[in-house]
Amino acid sequence: MAYGKAHLEAQLKRALAEEIQALEDPRLFLLTVEAVRLSKDGSVLSVYVEAFREEEGALRALSRAERRLVAALARRVRMRRLPRLEFLPWRASPA
């Protein structure tokens, strides 16, 4: 993996974790962003999360907040084109 992509993924992970925490949704209590993977063309960011309780509810809450999270990423991370966010459970993470 190129340094640039790894660095960008780290920035996106950090920014997303902070923005998710700022949502103050009770379904997102004790949710951790474990990893992010940017697709080769940069159009999709797979976000792997682990929830302490009710994972399905947390994934639904994140999907509903996608537009707000992308807007927040636009303010924090410099990218030519922001990716679509895809929220997945951590256990579905590729090896």
Please list, residue by residue across 71-93, b when 16 or more beta carbons sit within 10 angstroms of its beta carbon and e when fewer do.
ebbeeeeeeeebbebbbbeeeee
Q: Output the tens digit of pLDDT for each of the chain's 95 residues.
A: 456 889 999 999 999 999 999 998 888 888 999 999 999 998 999 999 998 888 889 999 999 999 999 999 999 988 888 899 999 998 766 65
Instruction: Provide the whole-model pTM.
Output: 0.86
Could you tell me the residue ranges of all domains in the chain? 3-92
Distance separating alpha carbons of residues 29 and 33, to the nearest angstrom: 12
CATH number for the domain whose boundaries are 3-92: 3.30.300.20
The token duo for 20 is: 């998710």
